[in-house]
Structure 1
Amino acid sequence: MTVAETDPAMAAAGDAPREAAAGAYEPPKGLAEDSPAKRAALAWVDGNSARITKLNSTIWEHAELSLREWRSSLAQADFLEAAGFEVKFGTAGFPTAFTATFREGEGGPVLGFSGEYDALPGLSQKSGVGQHDPREYVHDPFAPGYGPGHGCGHSALGTAAAAAAAAVARAARQHRKPVTVKFFGSTAEETLIGKTYAVSKGVYDGLDAFLDWHPSTANATGWGSSTAMTAVTFTFLGVAGHGGTPLGNKSALDAAVMMATMSEFLREENLAPSGRLHWVINNGGDIPNVTPEIAEISYYVREGSPARVKVLLDKVIAVSEAAATASQTKVSHRITSACWNQLPARAFAELLHENMRQIGPPDFTDEAQQLAKELQDSLGLPQKGMHTEIGELTPPNPVFMGGGSTDVADISWNVPTVSMGAALAPIGTKMHTWSTAACAASAPGRAAVLAAAKYLAATAMDLVTQPERLKALKTEFAERTKDVDWKTALPDDYEPPMYEPPAWFLRRTGQKWPPDNITWPPKRVISREKLSSLGPELSPQK
């Protein structure tokens, strides 16, 4: 039985050319062509660099969490509206998601750009500071912490994509090149909610190509895949009581701790090198002398394809049921998001890579390199500074070894999609850290934003001016997807999680609450469990 017969998603994503086995792969040349329209797009980025980096700084300062990016989404939308785009909020029912559209002439390709703007909890950091120094410190004598921060660089991600979209629009109008540019301001990437649900509702239908990037520690692109993922939260319900008289209480926290412990035992015999399993107890009680009546533990279950995720997820669910049985609690679970592995696009990556080589790496200043080395020293890493080269384009490893996940993956099964990384964080550091937040809107981030905008804009202009390039992408896409019937990995009865927006935001964006696709107010989660029986009363001793 072939791989395609057993797992079509992995078969479609696995494409290391034969020449790679002998180490003989050479990226094709002559794909990226100079043109007056491309020069105009790149010149627009240079001429508006101050506006572009200011937008990045503005979103960085807001540092708003997933599904609550009220000011960040508006800042990005205002930038595009000023560039001639028509903006409509409420994409797929999400209050902070929007679609911005620009049209020039009749016909021409329909190109999509991906914008994000959500921050991560607990990663607050002062901009440009080389030691851990949270910008927002949350004082609590029992549970101190830090505010949110752009530890994944989404302030820069959305800004560079918006700048690229605006540059393409301006160049197309200036040189009368027919094109439709659609920019998708997407909420909640960090929880993989925004795009996965939007794809299932047809938001990205009608695109000819989709361009994506992400902050990184290197300047590179490729055509490897990502891991499919399901995010799931388990809720345990017990019975509260005084910690000093615990008999008969049922601790939901005990259940969550048992589940966490038991799930760790899956690693040796049930977790392949392509899999990832991580968890956090996000609700475990407030004070030791009250037995927690409700506890929640959330998991990210990752594997090489949706089918493999399902196998691993079933084992995690079985662990939750065992923990509930042992603790005499009640357990339920809800899937909060689910995405596919990304479908590669070799021809797209080859085009993007040549544009990156022609434009060159980000222009890092001495200030950027000094900050990078201070951060590396603070983290105990070699002081190598920022990555100042364009990485070689190499075929993916024939053996998939796992990694991160992205909600762009679901888009990639519906339209040819390319992704690339531009160095925003120092060599050797990682995303989802305070050190990345230190860089995102300071000297390293400013250079990365401008470079990424140029890489995306130049590649998009090639698709506009060279129809044969777009045809090659679509031909490869059709070949890869011919044996795959994409269907969202979200449950049939899925309702996306949302927060009620402030009244001022609804007025400003012309929306009403609630949207039609959710139940509001949401169902309350309340324990109605009974105290545990200790059996018949003991007879007095005589």
Structure 2
Amino acid sequence: MSNALNTDPILPDHLAAAAKATARAWIDDNKERLSEWHQHIWDLAEPAWREFRSAEWYVRRLRDEGFEVEAGSGGMPTAFSAAWTQGVGGPVLLTYAEYDAVPGNCQAAGYEEGPREGLSRYAPGHTDPHSALGISTLAGLLGTMHAMKVHGISGTLKYTGEPAEKVQGSKVVHGLRGYYDGVDAIVSFHPFYMLPLCNTARWDTQCGSYYSRIYTFVCDEPETWQLGANPDSPIPASHSAARAPGANVALMSMYTSSRVMQDAMLPSFGGWSLSDAIFTHGQATADNLPARIAQIQYSWRCPTIDMAEHVLAVLDRNAGHAAALAHCRLETTWVARNRPGRTNHVLAQKLYDNLAEVGAPHYGEEAIAAAQAIQAGLGLEPMESPFLEECGQLISPQDAEAKLREHLAPWQRNWTSDDYVEMTHYAPTVRFYVSRPALRAAPDGPAYPGWVMNALGGIPATIDPTIETAGKTISGTFLDLLTRPEVLDAAKEEFRRRTGEDPMPPLLEPDFLPPTDFAWPDYSPDPSAGGSGSRLWYPQETDRA
């Protein structure tokens, strides 16, 4: 097959079929490399906004493959934007990598609970796993690129590195900075994490809005809390001077009042949720001084923007009062403020058609043996077929939608959250899921502990089928869009119609800055490792009496 650009009067269907076969063959031929790449990212397991080595690996890999890459795109140190073009014209198609891990979830790729070697159990680990998300889309991207070269297909492939998905931080920034402008279609992938969305594409019910905001309490002048107190003291900051309660008091007032008022923020339906996280600062040895600064992050998921705004109003009010009572100044910083997603039936159906051609993941003897070993270690009778039945089955987007709607109120258009939703406002986008390994429940037995799915996400025999299936599905979808203009035209027309019927402008200003400089969880180098790259996490594991 010639590398020259294709000018033969070949039917698009035939061209697409031949190109898909070429792309799938490339993925088959590179299974071992893809597995090694995944294991590397899984082992790095760097948390949100701190994925320095993971992002560096992707940038180097893409440049080696021939992509032009901008590192640190959008002002985000661990983001990137890559592009490769063949020919003149042709569609611009985009998919992306995620690679952030979750603090406190360090798990070895083994058959029992335990952290990776040399790390504390409090270190980050891949739970979803985003490691497989990124290598799956990379497989699809490179398989498509190879097929375009072999069959002379014109077009542009774009690939973005999206850090900090766990706080939904990067896609809103890339969108505001124009990185999705000019894109004709986007494919968004995530390993399956809830039924019935397993081996399918989302149909109507997309993810909803997500807000995340940091409240910073600053006690600038604790000694002015009671001016004139203890006037005989020669030192204004003496141990007996009356000082402001300080930032910690403000934070705890904010924390307790918001917890108490959570039931009053919104009615208890719609699947909305609120979570909080307290940032750490170096004031543990401050002796008798009040805390000068304290920060708490709130994140909330709501089906609608109106609901999210109601929560915001309560939190802002609580923060203002907490700052005032503790003699503090209040600062607020957005982490993310995302719009609910738009659906695209044309892309969803086309992607599912390609998933059906590939088929659901297949777990071989080695994968089954790994699953059985985990079951035996938990005191369960190993099953002949240990994986969840749905992991090996397809479900159409329409059938998955019907099952999903059984649990939702009729008025509810969106459910759960993920920041792919921001992409859906810039170009036609499809969101799809391929099963990750999950074990079949034991009859009358308890649920599996959380570490089990984390471990299965790092064992090559159990996670590689996810990467293979997703990669082939993405490449097939891309090649259909590259060779069948009528499909892409229909997807873009649907996008224009839906955007016109329900316009939703961005919720953050164009000059919004990503909050990368906050005290996000991070690794610390091990001074005793002699620069070997070993890492510690605090608190470290110690012998407990």
TM-score w.r.t. structure 2 length?
A: 0.77
Alpha-carbon offset, residue 42 of structure 1: 0.9
* Cα pair distance change 1:433/1:120, threshold 3 Å: farther
Task: Tell me, yes or no, if structure 1 residue 393 matches structure 2 residue 397.
Answer: yes
Matches within 5 A, 1:301-380: 301-372=300-371
Aligned to 2:78, which of 79, 84, 96? 96
| SS of 1:456 mapped into structure 2 | helix
Single out whichever of 34-43 and 318-327 deviates more from structure 2. Answer: 318-327
* Cα pair distance change 1:374/1:228, threshold 3 Å: farther
Aligned to 1:212, which of 173, 188, 193? 188
* Cα pair distance change 1:163/1:499, threshold 3 Å: farther
* Partner in structure 2 of residue 535 of structure 1: none
Task: Tell me, yes or no, if structure 1 residue 257 matches structure 2 residue 252.
Answer: yes
Task: Tell me, yes or no, if structure 1 residue 237 matches structure 2 residue 218.
Answer: yes
* Partner in structure 2 of residue 281 of structure 1: 278
Distance in 2 between the 1:376 and 1:303 partners?
A: 37
* Partner in structure 2 of residue 74 of structure 1: 56
Task: Tell me, yes or no, if structure 1 residue 64 matches structure 2 residue 46.
Answer: yes
Distance in 1 between the 2:352 and 2:307 partners?
A: 31
| SS of 1:261 mapped into structure 2 | helix
Distance in 1 between the 2:53 and 2:135 partners?
A: 14
Distance in 1 between the 2:144 and 2:208 partners?
A: 31
Judge conservation of contact 2:97–2:161 (CA < 8 Å) in 1: yes
Distance in 2 between the 1:66 and 1:361 partners?
A: 30
* Partner in structure 2 of residue 23 of structure 1: none
Alpha-carbon offset, residue 47 of structure 1: 0.8
Alpha-carbon offset, residue 479 of structure 1: 1.1
User: In the TM superposition, what whole-angstrom CA distance separates every residue of 1:408-432 from its partner, at most 9, and x where no partner exists?
Assistant: 2111111001111122241589999
Judge conservation of contact 1:32–1:351 (CA < 8 Å) in 2: no
Single out whichever of 102-111 and 124-133 deviates more from structure 2. Answer: 124-133
Single out whichever of 211-220 and 129-138 deviates more from structure 2. Answer: 129-138
Letter in structure 2 aligned against 1:464: L
% identical equivalent positions? 28
* Partner in structure 2 of residue 408 of structure 1: 420
Task: Tell me, yes or no, if structure 1 residue 228 matches structure 2 residue 209.
Answer: yes
Alpha-carbon offset, residue 381 of structure 1: 11
Single out whichever of 161-170 and 248-257 deviates more from structure 2. Answer: 248-257
Distance in 1 between the 2:380 and 2:115 partners?
A: 18
* Partner in structure 1 of residue 175 of structure 2: 199
Distance in 2 between the 1:67 and 1:32 partners?
A: 44
Letter in structure 1 aligned against 2:454: A
Judge conservation of contact 2:206–2:413 (CA < 8 Å) in 1: no
Gaps of at least 5 residues in structure 1 are 1-30, 139-144, 501-542
Judge conservation of contact 1:149–1:434 (CA < 8 Å) in 2: no
* Cα pair distance change 1:499/1:377, threshold 3 Å: farther
Task: Tell me, yes or no, if structure 1 residue 424 matches structure 2 residue 436.
Answer: yes
Alpha-carbon offset, residue 131 of structure 1: 2.1
* Cα pair distance change 1:266/1:166, threshold 3 Å: same
Distance in 1 between the 2:440 and 2:292 partners?
A: 43
Distance in 1 between the 2:348 and 2:36 partners?
A: 29
* Cα pair distance change 1:132/1:34, threshold 3 Å: same
| SS of 2:279 mapped into structure 1 | strand
Judge conservation of contact 2:177–2:510 (CA < 8 Å) in 1: no
* Cα pair distance change 1:77/1:32, threshold 3 Å: farther
Computed over aligned residues only, the root mean square deviation of the Cα atoms, in angstroms, reads: 3.3
* Cα pair distance change 1:175/1:401, threshold 3 Å: closer
Distance in 2 between the 1:171 and 1:431 partners?
A: 42
TM-score w.r.t. structure 1 length?
A: 0.77
* Cα pair distance change 1:179/1:349, threshold 3 Å: same
Alpha-carbon offset, residue 334 of structure 1: 1.4
Distance in 2 between the 1:328 and 1:370 partners?
A: 61
* Cα pair distance change 1:336/1:35, threshold 3 Å: same
Matches within 5 A, 1:154-169: 154-169=130-145
Distance in 2 between the 1:97 and 1:106 partners?
A: 28
| SS of 1:283 mapped into structure 2 | coil
Task: Tell me, yes or no, if structure 1 residue 488 matches structure 2 residue 492.
Answer: no
Letter in structure 1 aligned against 2:344: A
Alpha-carbon offset, residue 164 of structure 1: 0.6
* Cα pair distance change 1:342/1:283, threshold 3 Å: same
Distance in 2 between the 1:490 and 1:374 partners?
A: 49
Judge conservation of contact 2:41–2:131 (CA < 8 Å) in 1: yes
* Cα pair distance change 1:373/1:268, threshold 3 Å: farther
User: In the TM superposition, what whole-angstrom CA distance separates every residue of 1:160-203 from its partner, at most 9, and x where no partner exists?
Assistant: 11111111111111111222111112222222221111100111
User: In the TM superposition, what whole-angstrom CA distance separates every residue of 1:286-310 from its partner, at most 9, and x where no partner exists?
Assistant: 3697554422111002222334322
| SS of 1:489 mapped into structure 2 | coil
Alpha-carbon offset, residue 374 of structure 1: 6.0
Judge conservation of contact 1:256–1:297 (CA < 8 Å) in 2: yes
Alpha-carbon offset, residue 225 of structure 1: 1.3
Letter in structure 2 aligned against 1:413: H
Aligned to 1:452, which of 470, 481, 493? 470
* Cα pair distance change 1:447/1:314, threshold 3 Å: same
* Cα pair distance change 1:498/1:269, threshold 3 Å: closer
* Cα pair distance change 1:266/1:371, threshold 3 Å: farther
Equivalent pairs counted in the alignment come to 464
